[in-house]
Amino acid sequence: MKKRQLRLAIILATVLTSTLPLAAQQLDANNWGKGTPGVTLVAHEGPRQQTSSGTVLWYNLIGKGFPEGVVYNLWRWATEKSPDAMIKGVSFDKRGVLVCSGKPGYCAGQGTDDPVNIKATAALGEMKRMAVVSEDGKIAAFVDAVPFPIEASDKGCRLSVVRKSSLADSVIASASGLKPNQSLTVTTRFGDESGTAKATSSPAGTWTQVPFAQGAKQPQGKASVSVSDSVCAVSVMFDYGPGSNKPQ
């Protein structure tokens, strides 16, 4: 599927977005993740390539439920950026793979129904967020991938952290598998600054919080998040600050 290589880079997104009509450029971040019922999108990761500058990742997107004969645009939402359109005029082949068909009004690759191959690198805990949206915005599906997760599990509970900021001085911490509606003890640490607080799990046994390093005396160092209830205790540790976002 690697006939056409599309790098997840700002320069590419800038060039392609400039060719889009205004209506196609307006994908509000607040609506990210609000997909159309019955439409799904999956990111299929190909073999990873180890290089001197980090691991090269390859993705193909596979859709189900997308109506035929509709022009779609491929979007991405990079950390600390606004959602931006990468390619105008994508569609799906008979297998459901996202392609540039080469038909009038659609993008063209190196042949008919040329698969769109997305090339990227990623830091630890960095989320790759992609979407396929019709030009009128009425049909949309979203997919997230965390190729190098920061996570831990204990007795059926799972804790994960993804970067909200590129330097991980602000993260989104989420736990699942907790006892529903139970008291939690949450401890966060950035460098030498730490704090412990009480929280409550949701009726579904989940918990989410956005720890950040604001006020920490150390601009970089080790950070950790710990969550425990009456059954399990999970904790993750990660680097934050300059240098923490190097590709894996």
pLDDT for position 120: 95
What's the pLDDT at 216?
74
Segment among 31-35, 37-41, 234-238 with least mean pLDDT = 31-35
pLDDT at 1 over 70: no
The whole-number pLDDT of residue 22 equals 34
- Asked whether residue 21 carries a pLDDT value surpassing 90, the answer given is no
Q: What is the pLDDT of residues 174-207, one digit of tens each?
A: 999 999 999 999 999 999 999 999 999 999 999 9
The SS3 of residue 161 is: strand
Q: What integer pLDDT is reported at residue 92 of this predicted model? A: 97
For the chain, strand residue ranges (E) read: 4-7, 40-45, 49-51, 54-64, 72-76, 84-92, 98-100, 114-120, 128-134, 140-145, 150-154, 157-163, 171-176, 183-190, 193-200, 207-209, 221-228, 233-240
Average pLDDT, the chain: 89
Q: What SS3 state is found at 231?
A: coil
pLDDT of residue 14: 27
**pLDDT score for 46:** 97
Residue 10's pLDDT is what? 25
- pLDDT tens figures, 132-172: 999 999 999 999 999 999 999 999 999 999 999 999 999 99
Q: What pLDDT was estimated at residue 11?
A: 25
β-pairing verdict for 183-190 and 140-145: unpaired
Closest CA to 158 of 207, 209, 210: 207
- Cβ partners under 8 Å of residue 5, min gap 6: 117, 119
Q: Coil, helix or strand for 136?
A: coil
| Cα 224 from chain centre | 21
Per-residue confidence band for 217, with pLDDT thresholds at 50, 70 and 90: confident
Phi-psi category of residue 12: left, alpha or beta, with phi > 0 → left and psi -120 to 50 → alpha: alpha
CA distance 21 to 99: 21
Q: What is the CATH number of domain 4-145?
A: 2.60.40
pLDDT in tens, 92-118: 999 999 999 999 999 999 999 999 999
Are 4-145 and 150-240 in the same CATH fold?
A: yes
Among 167, 13, 149, which Cα is nearest to 77's?
13
- Kindly state the tokens that stand for 164: 């909200």
How does residue 79 score in pLDDT terms, banded at 50, 70 and 90? very high
Contact status, residue 239 vs residue 173, Cβ threshold 8 Å: no
Q: What is the arithmetic mean of pLDDT over 223-241?
A: 97
Find tokens 């049909």 and name the residue: 139
Domain spans of the chain, in order of start:
4-145, 150-240
Mean pLDDT of 14-34: 57
At the topology level of CATH, where does 150-240 sit? Immunoglobulin-like (2.60.40)
240-248 average pLDDT score: 96
* Residue 18 confidence (pLDDT) above 70: no
Tell me if 96 sits within 8 A of 36, measured CB to CB.
Answer: no
172 or 23, higher pLDDT:
172
Structure confidence at residue 214 (pLDDT): 77
- For residue 106, what pLDDT is reported? 96
User: Does the structure show a pLDDT above 70 at 83?
Assistant: yes
